């Protein structure tokens, strides 16, 4: 770790509503800068296995305009279950890996460099169908 950076972790911080198992907090700025929170969520939105969310910005930085800006990792065989967005839209930008994307009931394969968009009132889900991690950026914008 670089000089001036600190890292700390905590386990066992759970919330029954989303089954969060492990929370790792990392200071990414020197002298008390910003925090990035990484959360492992089991069976997110009814999906298989777990999802790892690395929150790039927290609520104060999102300033009430977005609900989420995170790097998401799906390990092989894991999925983020189908879910519908209400009063918000979500965009994924695939960084690496391969997935099967359910776009409001229609499936297609996605891979690095591709983007998906789910508008308000529509749903989506994503499953890692490759043999390496599927990593993507997720942005939820409030309508």
Under DSSP, is residue 136 helix (H, G, I), strand (E, B) or coil?
Answer: strand
In a domain, 2, yes or no: no
Name the CA dihedral angle for 97, 109, 123, 127, rounded to a multiple of 10 degrees.
Answer: -50
Q: 36-68 pLDDT, tens per residue?
A: 788 999 999 999 999 999 999 888 889 999 999
Checking DSSP bridges between strand 106-111 and strand 98-103, what pairing results, if any? Answer: antiparallel
H-only helix segments in the chain: 59-62
* Cα torsion angle, 89, 79, 51, 43, sign: positive
Distance from C-alpha of 35 to C-alpha of 33, rounded to nearest angstrom: 7
Q: Which domain holds residue 108?
A: 7-142
Domain count of the chain?
1
- Can you give the pTM of this predicted structure? 0.79
In a domain, 134, yes or no: yes
In a domain, 1, yes or no: no
Q: What is the CATH number of the domain that holds 121?
A: 2.60.120.10
Q: 12-28 pLDDT, tens per residue?
A: 333 334 444 444 444 44
In a domain, 122, yes or no: yes
């Amino acid at each position: 770790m670089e000089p001036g950076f600190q890292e700390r972790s905590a386990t066992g911080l759970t919330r029954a509503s989303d089954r969060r198992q492990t929370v790792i907090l990392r200071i990414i700025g020197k002298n008390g800068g910003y925090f990035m929170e990484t959360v492992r969520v089991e069976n997110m939105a009814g999906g298989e296995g777990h999802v790892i969310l690395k929150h790039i910005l927290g609520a104060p930085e999102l300033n009430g305009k977005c609900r989420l800006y995170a790097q998401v990792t799906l390990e092989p065989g894991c999925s983020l279950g189908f879910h519908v967005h209400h009063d918000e839209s979500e965009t994924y930008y695939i960084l690496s890996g391969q997935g099967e994307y359910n776009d409001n009931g229609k499936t297609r394969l996605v891979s690095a460099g591709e983007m998906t968009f789910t508008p308000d009132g529509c749903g989506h889900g994503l499953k890692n169908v490759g043999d390496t991690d599927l990593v993507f950026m997720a942005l939820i914008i409030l309508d």
